[in-house]
Structure 1
Protein backbone atom coordinates (compact mmCIF):
# COMPACT_ATOMS: atom_id res chain seq x y z
CA UNK A 1 0.00 0.00 0.00
CA UNK A 2 1.39 3.39 -0.91
CA UNK A 3 0.38 6.90 0.05
CA UNK A 4 0.33 10.48 -1.06
CA UNK A 5 0.49 13.76 0.86
CA UNK A 6 -2.01 16.50 0.00
CA UNK A 7 -2.76 20.02 1.20
CA UNK A 8 -6.39 20.52 2.22
CA UNK A 9 -8.35 23.42 0.72
CA UNK A 10 -10.62 23.98 3.73
CA UNK A 11 -13.71 22.44 2.14
CA UNK A 12 -15.18 20.16 4.82
CA UNK A 13 -18.49 18.39 4.24
CA UNK A 14 -20.40 16.41 6.87
CA UNK A 15 -22.98 13.97 5.57
CA UNK A 16 -24.63 11.11 7.41
CA UNK A 17 -22.21 11.31 10.32
CA UNK A 18 -19.21 11.08 7.97
CA UNK A 19 -16.70 13.83 7.16
CA UNK A 20 -15.31 14.47 3.67
CA UNK A 21 -12.43 16.80 2.72
CA UNK A 22 -10.85 18.07 -0.51
CA UNK A 23 -7.35 19.13 -1.46
CA UNK A 24 -4.44 19.22 -3.93
CA UNK A 25 -1.40 16.98 -4.25
CA UNK A 26 2.23 17.67 -5.13
CA UNK A 27 1.66 17.88 -8.90
CA UNK A 28 -1.56 19.92 -8.51
CA UNK A 29 -3.68 16.78 -8.78
CA UNK A 30 -7.07 17.37 -7.17
CA UNK A 31 -8.90 15.18 -4.67
CA UNK A 32 -12.54 15.82 -3.77
CA UNK A 33 -14.84 14.18 -1.23
CA UNK A 34 -12.08 12.15 0.44
CA UNK A 35 -13.48 10.29 3.46
CA UNK A 36 -11.77 11.50 6.64
CA UNK A 37 -11.70 8.94 9.43
CA UNK A 38 -11.90 10.29 13.01
CA UNK A 39 -11.49 8.38 16.28
CA UNK A 40 -14.73 7.70 18.17
CA UNK A 41 -15.71 10.61 20.40
CA UNK A 42 -13.31 13.06 18.74
CA UNK A 43 -14.54 16.00 16.66
CA UNK A 44 -12.50 18.45 14.59
CA UNK A 45 -12.48 20.28 11.27
CA UNK A 46 -9.16 20.57 9.41
CA UNK A 47 -8.28 24.10 8.33
CA UNK A 48 -7.20 25.33 4.90
CA UNK A 49 -3.54 24.51 4.35
CA UNK A 50 -3.53 21.49 6.69
CA UNK A 51 -1.63 18.46 5.42
CA UNK A 52 -3.22 15.04 4.98
CA UNK A 53 -1.88 11.63 4.01
CA UNK A 54 -3.96 9.52 1.63
CA UNK A 55 -3.61 5.76 1.55
CA UNK A 56 -3.68 4.27 -1.95
CA UNK A 57 -4.49 0.54 -2.01
CA UNK A 58 -2.40 -1.28 -4.63
CA UNK A 59 -0.69 2.05 -5.46
CA UNK A 60 -3.78 3.19 -7.41
CA UNK A 61 -4.42 6.94 -6.98
CA UNK A 62 -8.05 6.45 -8.10
CA UNK A 63 -8.66 4.42 -4.93
CA UNK A 64 -7.12 6.98 -2.55
Structure 2
Protein backbone atom coordinates (compact mmCIF):
# COMPACT_ATOMS: atom_id res chain seq x y z
CA UNK A 1 0.00 0.00 0.00
CA UNK A 2 0.99 3.64 -0.05
CA UNK A 3 1.36 3.89 3.72
CA UNK A 4 4.79 4.34 5.28
CA UNK A 5 6.00 1.22 7.12
CA UNK A 6 5.68 2.73 10.60
CA UNK A 7 2.12 3.96 10.00
CA UNK A 8 1.10 0.61 8.47
CA UNK A 9 2.51 -1.32 11.45
CA UNK A 10 0.78 1.00 13.94
CA UNK A 11 -2.52 0.66 12.06
CA UNK A 12 -2.23 -3.14 11.96
CA UNK A 13 -1.49 -3.23 15.70
CA UNK A 14 -4.47 -0.98 16.46
CA UNK A 15 -6.83 -3.10 14.35
CA UNK A 16 -5.59 -6.34 15.93
CA UNK A 17 -5.98 -4.90 19.44
CA UNK A 18 -9.56 -3.86 18.66
CA UNK A 19 -10.65 -6.84 16.53
CA UNK A 20 -13.50 -7.59 18.95
CA UNK A 21 -15.12 -4.27 18.00
CA UNK A 22 -15.75 -5.38 14.41
CA UNK A 23 -18.70 -7.52 13.35
CA UNK A 24 -17.87 -10.31 10.93
CA UNK A 25 -21.46 -11.35 10.22
CA UNK A 26 -25.00 -10.00 10.54
CA UNK A 27 -25.55 -12.45 13.43
CA UNK A 28 -23.03 -10.45 15.46
CA UNK A 29 -25.18 -7.31 15.07
CA UNK A 30 -28.50 -8.32 16.69
CA UNK A 31 -29.79 -4.77 17.20
CA UNK A 32 -29.01 -3.56 13.68
CA UNK A 33 -32.00 -3.54 11.33
CA UNK A 34 -31.20 -5.76 8.31
CA UNK A 35 -32.60 -3.01 6.09
CA UNK A 36 -29.62 -0.90 7.15
CA UNK A 37 -27.03 -3.66 6.85
CA UNK A 38 -28.18 -4.98 3.44
CA UNK A 39 -27.66 -3.48 0.02
CA UNK A 40 -29.32 -3.84 -3.32
CA UNK A 41 -28.24 -3.00 -6.83
CA UNK A 42 -30.39 -0.64 -8.83
CA UNK A 43 -30.43 -2.61 -12.07
CA UNK A 44 -33.12 -2.29 -14.69
CA UNK A 45 -34.57 -5.81 -15.16
CA UNK A 46 -34.93 -5.07 -18.88
CA UNK A 47 -31.15 -4.75 -19.28
CA UNK A 48 -29.30 -7.70 -20.76
CA UNK A 49 -26.43 -9.43 -19.00
CA UNK A 50 -22.96 -8.64 -20.31
CA UNK A 51 -20.19 -11.12 -19.59
CA UNK A 52 -16.77 -9.55 -19.30
CA UNK A 53 -13.86 -11.23 -21.04
CA UNK A 54 -11.40 -13.14 -18.88
CA UNK A 55 -8.14 -11.35 -18.29
CA UNK A 56 -4.87 -13.19 -18.36
CA UNK A 57 -2.77 -13.18 -15.21
CA UNK A 58 0.97 -13.09 -15.02
CA UNK A 59 2.47 -16.55 -14.39
CA UNK A 60 3.41 -15.49 -10.85
CA UNK A 61 -0.14 -14.44 -9.97
CA UNK A 62 -1.64 -17.54 -11.59
CA UNK A 63 0.69 -19.76 -9.56
CA UNK A 64 -0.17 -17.91 -6.33
CA UNK A 65 -3.90 -18.25 -7.07
CA UNK A 66 -3.53 -22.00 -7.59
CA UNK A 67 -1.79 -22.36 -4.21
CA UNK A 68 -4.48 -20.39 -2.39
Bucket of the pairwise TM-score, normalised by the shorter protein: under 0.3
The structure with more strand, counted as a fraction of residues:
1
Bigger relative contact order, structure 1 or 2 (CA pairs below 8 A, ≥6 apart): 1
The structure with more helix, counted as a fraction of residues:
2
TM-score, normalising length: structure 1? 0.15
